Structure 1
Amino acid sequence: MELLEFFIMGILFTLGVQAFAYLSIKVKMPWYAWAGLITGGLTLLFGIGWAGSSFIENVPQSGSLGLTVFCLPGLLLMAFIIRKYLPKGTRL
């Protein structure tokens, strides 16, 4: 079961890198916006990994807290940066 989790995490990481590469070609943003997006994406993946490991180890309280503590700030950081630095009317 752990191998499946790490395989899925690898797929998510690869898709995230490809999405950031595509976005970097389509949209021009300052370097600190890219740093924030990457930090938010890595925080999101860390929270998903934490929750998955906790659920596999049969500690669901730790998993749900990990989703709340790590994934929510990552999502908020990415959402705020996209709303502030993505030019209006940009079509992806």
Structure 2
Amino acid sequence: MELLLFFILGMVFSLSVLGIAYLSIKVLMPIYAWGGIIVGALMVIFGLGWSGSSFLEDIPQSGAMGLAVFCMPGMLLIAFVWRKFAPKNIKI
């Protein structure tokens, strides 16, 4: 089961890298905005890995903490950076 978890995490990481690369071509933002989006995406992926492995090890409190401490700030960082720096009328 752990191998499936890490395979899925690898796929999510690869898709997020491809998605960010596609967005970097389509959207003009400053370099520090892209840094914020990349850090936020890494925080979300780290939180998903943390919570998935904690749930597999039968420690659900640690899994919930991983979602709350890593995923939520990562998603908020991505949302705030996108709202601040992305152009208002963008067609993706």
TM-score, shorter chain, exceeding 0.5: yes
How many matched pairs? 92
Distance 2:46 2:21 in 1: 20
Distance 2:20 2:9 in 1: 16
Query: Counterpart of 1:28 in 2: which secondary structure?
Result: coil
Query: Counterpart of 1:70 in 2: which secondary structure?
Result: helix
Distance 2:47 2:24 in 1: 24
Gaps of 5+ in 2: none
Which residue number in structure 2 is paired with residue 46 of structure 1? Answer: 46
Which residue number in structure 2 is paired with residue 88 of structure 1? Answer: 88
Equivalent position amino acid for 1:48 in 2: L
Kindly report which structure 2 residues correspond to 1:1-92, keeping only aligned pairs within 5 A, or say none: 1-92=1-92
CA RMSD across the alignment: 0.4
Equivalent position amino acid for 1:71 in 2: C
Percent of paired sites with the same residue: 60
Residue 91 of structure 1: how far off its partner (Å): 1.0
Residue 50 of structure 1: how far off its partner (Å): 0.2
Distance 1:47 1:73 in 2: 10
Distance 1:65 1:25 in 2: 35
Query: Counterpart of 2:29 in 1: which secondary structure?
Result: coil
Query: Counterpart of 1:90 in 2: which secondary structure?
Result: coil
Residue 72 of structure 1: how far off its partner (Å): 0.3
Gaps of 5+ in 1: none
Residue 54 of structure 1: how far off its partner (Å): 0.2
